[in-house]
Amino acid sequence: MSLYTLHTPPPLEDPVMVFGLAGWGDAASAASDAADWLAEGGQPIVTFDPDSIFDYRSNRPILRFGPGLPHTVSWPRTEIIHVKPSGRDVLVLVGNEPDFAWESISDALANLAQRFGVSHLVTLGAVPTPIRHDEVPPVFCTASDPRLLQGGDELLLDEIVVPSSAGTVFRTAIQEVGIEAIGYWVQVPQYVGRPYHTGVLALLRKVAVQVGAEFDLSELEEESRVQLERLDEIIAQRTDAAAFIESLGNSVGTTTKIPDDLPSADEIADEVLEFLQNPELET
């Protein structure tokens, strides 16, 4: 069985490739949500075989029920979508981080990037950090070529050792065939769950500059504004949480002592999520 299916791609001119997979390195799903937003309405040109790359016990299909009966199953997927914002060809790798065949997928993506004539690669990630939701979320980057850096890009200069995401492994393989890459990582407040519109916005603004396109982000900007207001309302009613959040630093590496009786990040995130998913809920 083939690892992937190649659909008939349209003519491509100097495309940029963008990675944003759900999984490791995707705090609050900010990176995968940004990639999904970018890929919306696009044409799939490469579809990886789910039976070859997923363990369905860890990436379970999603079952949707109608009145009394299951009626749809959504399988985990990893695919490349073609979109053309502002006339620029963009290839977006979206879906779930695979469980298997990372080396084979790496080779396939490197070959496909060469076949499609990809100009450069942009990878997206999100990490939980002790920052406040009312701060502009910092975005740091890594780049294989300094010429990819744009105004305001901040390189990660510290040496760190962390478990790798699939996207970073795939990026390495693409760099090895001579295609330069830049990666953006948005910092997400550790107490915020999905969705985190402000983080999605921060990443999409970086992507827009890298691909040389204009994105209409007005709807996301409004969703971000409403979300931040609701977060303020929720936290204002929790004096312990408010005091902790007020004390948070606004950069990686800031250490803040967490009070023993403070609700956990998961508890705060659950409360925020419940509120956001039930807009009519009174608190």
Work out the pLDDT band at 282, boundaries 50, 70, 90. Answer: very low
For 153-217, give the DSSP string. Answer: -EE--S----PPPHHHHHHHHHHHTT--EEEEEEEEETT--S--HHHHHHHHHHHHHHHT-----
> What does the pLDDT look like over 64-79, one tens digit per residue?
887 777 678 889 999 9
Which pLDDT belongs to residue 193? 82
Q: According to the per-residue pLDDT averaged within each range, which of 68-82, 101-115, 118-132, 192-206 is highest?
A: 101-115
Q: Where in the chain is the domain with CATH 3.40.50.10900?
A: 4-217
The alpha carbon dihedral of 205, 158, 28, 232 has a sign of: negative
Q: Tell me the pTM.
A: 0.84
Class level of CATH domain 4-217: alpha beta
Q: Looking up tokens 């207001």, which residue turns up?
A: 229
Sheet holding 78-83, edge to edge: 4-6, 43-48, 78-83, 90-95, 16-19, 120-129, 181-189, 139-143, 154-155
Interval 3-45: pLDDT, tens: 999 999 899 999 999 999 999 999 999 999 999 999 999 999 9
Q: For 211-266, what is each residue's pLDDT tens digit?
A: 999 999 999 999 999 988 888 887 777 766 666 677 665 444 443 343 444 444 45
**Tokens 């204002």 — which residue?**
236
- DSSP conformation letters of 100-155: S-HHHHHHHHHHHHHHHT--EEEEEEEEEES--TTSPPPEEEEESSGGG--TT-EE
pLDDT digits (tens, 9 = 90+) for 120-179: 999 999 999 888 888 889 999 999 999 999 988 988 777 767 778 999 999 999 999 999
Distance CA 260, CA 46 (A): 50
Eight-state DSSP code of residue 11: P
What is the phi/psi pair of residue 59, to 5°? -120, 75
Q: What is the dihedral of CA 104, 105, 110, 115, to 10 degrees?
A: 100
